[in-house]
């Protein structure tokens, strides 16, 4: 960590690397949450169905799915 020992100037800090071990737990958590969110918005009640919503999820998100280029129906 010798490079971090030099204090950054008061203006724009030179890029400091965030240790990967500090990022990993966040990456796992955010990755999982993002995958679940994106699955429900893009695919649930369309190609596959986890909840028996009877088409309501698909229809509610219908226009967003088409316009954001997800395969809809």
Which of 7, 16, 21, 51 is close enough to bind another protein by CB under 8 A?
16
Q: Where are the alpha helices (DSSP H) in the chain?
A: 2-5, 20-42, 56-60, 62-67
Assess 60 for contact with another protein (CB under 8 A): yes
State in Å, rounded, how far the first CA of the chain is from the last one.
54
| Site membership for another protein, residue 44 (CB under 8 A) | no
Are the CB atoms for 36 and 30 separated by under 8 Å? no
- Residue 7 CB, nearest distance to another protein (Å)? 14
Binding site for another protein (CB under 8 A): 10-18, 20, 22-23, 26-27, 30-31, 33-35, 37-38, 40-43, 46-48, 54-56, 59-73
């Amino acid at each position: 960590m010798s490079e971090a020992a030099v204090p950054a100037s008061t203006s724009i800090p030179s890029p400091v690397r965030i240790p990967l071990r500090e990022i990993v737990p966040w990456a796992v958590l955010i990755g999982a949450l993002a995958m679940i969110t994106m699955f429900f918005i893009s695919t649930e009640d369309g190609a596959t169905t986890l909840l028996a919503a009877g088409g309501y999820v698909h229809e509610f998100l219908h226009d967003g799915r088409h316009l954001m280029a997800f395969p809809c129906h």
